[in-house]
């Protein structure tokens, strides 16, 4: 997946964009990304699209995600979308966005117990192309200096 060229979003702005994406208010989310970063339309849209899988994955139980992954592996994308809708009550567009993000590798399998560890959250930022937010997260949660956090983020695959 190609990375977004959107620069760092402050945690407050990232949280607001995530809230807009969760509410499927994509146009407002894109506008906000453009406003706070100065990014162009294509870059902001790419950033928001990259967040969809991460956001909707929060509403998909691990067992449903596993079944969706298996269906996608069998080439059954439409049945996977339908199953996700039924099992999660996500709307059609949200279920499509989630399944497409799964298919494109932008959603990682949840860890046992369902709690995302730091590396998984860093990976989610990286896959959305937001390396600066990944670095900020590492700094905030570990106390690392920026250069140390940047090396940590770069080492995560």
The answer as to whether 13 is a domain residue is yes
The answer as to whether 2 is a domain residue is no
9 backbone dihedrals φ, ψ, rounded to 5°: -110, 130
The answer as to whether 46 is a domain residue is yes
Res 65: pLDDT:
87
Res 26: pLDDT:
93
The answer as to whether 30 is a domain residue is yes
Q: Where does the chain have alpha helices with state H?
A: 11-22, 26-37, 41-57, 62-73, 77-88, 92-103, 118-127, 131-142, 146-155
Q: Are residues 51 and 23 in the same domain?
A: yes
pLDDT at 35 over 70: yes
Res 1: pLDDT:
39
The answer as to whether 147 is a domain residue is yes
Give the predicted TM-score (pTM) of the model: 0.61
Q: Are residues 126 and 147 in the same domain?
A: yes
Range of the domain at 133: 116-157
The answer as to whether 89 is a domain residue is yes
pLDDT digits (tens, 9 = 90+) for 107-145: 766 655 555 677 877 887 787 777 887 888 787 777 788
> What is the number of domains present in the chain?
3
What is the average pLDDT value for the chain, to the nearest integer?
Answer: 84
Q: Are residues 47 and 35 in the same domain?
A: yes
The answer as to whether 1 is a domain residue is no
pLDDT at 77 over 90: yes
Q: Are residues 46 and 24 in the same domain?
A: yes
CA distances to 61, 115, 156 from 125, in Å: 21, 16, 11
Q: Are residues 64 and 37 in the same domain?
A: no
The answer as to whether 153 is a domain residue is yes
pLDDT at 2 over 50: no
List of residues 6+ apart from 60 with CB closer than 8 A: 68, 84, 87, 88, 90, 98
Instruction: Please report which confidence band the pLDDT of residue 32 belongs to, taking 50, 70 and 90 as the band edges.
Output: very high
pLDDT digits (tens, 9 = 90+) for 85-117: 999 988 999 999 999 988 887 776 665 555 567
Q: Are residues 120 and 104 in the same domain?
A: no
Q: Are residues 85 and 50 in the same domain?
A: no
Res 4: pLDDT:
55
């Amino acid at each position: 997946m190609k990375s977004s060229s959107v620069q760092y979003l402050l945690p407050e702005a990232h949280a607001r964009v995530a809230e807009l994406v969760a509410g499927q208010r994509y146009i407002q989310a894109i506008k906000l990304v453009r406003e706070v970063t100065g990014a162009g339309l294509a870059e902001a849209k790419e950033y928001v699209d990259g967040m969809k899988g991460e956001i909707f994955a929060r509403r998909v139980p691990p067992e449903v995600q596993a079944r969706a992954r298996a269906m996608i592996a069998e080439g059954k994308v439409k049945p996977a979308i339908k199953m996700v809708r039924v099992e999660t009550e996500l709307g059609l567009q949200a279920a499509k966005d989630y399944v497409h993000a799964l298919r494109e590798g932008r959603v990682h399998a949840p860890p046992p117990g369902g709690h995302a560890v730091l590396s998984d959250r860093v990976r989610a930022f990286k896959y959305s192309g937001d390396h600066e937010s990944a670095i900020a997260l590492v700094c905030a949660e570990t106390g690392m200096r920026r250069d140390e956090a940047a090396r940590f983020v770069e080492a995560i695959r």
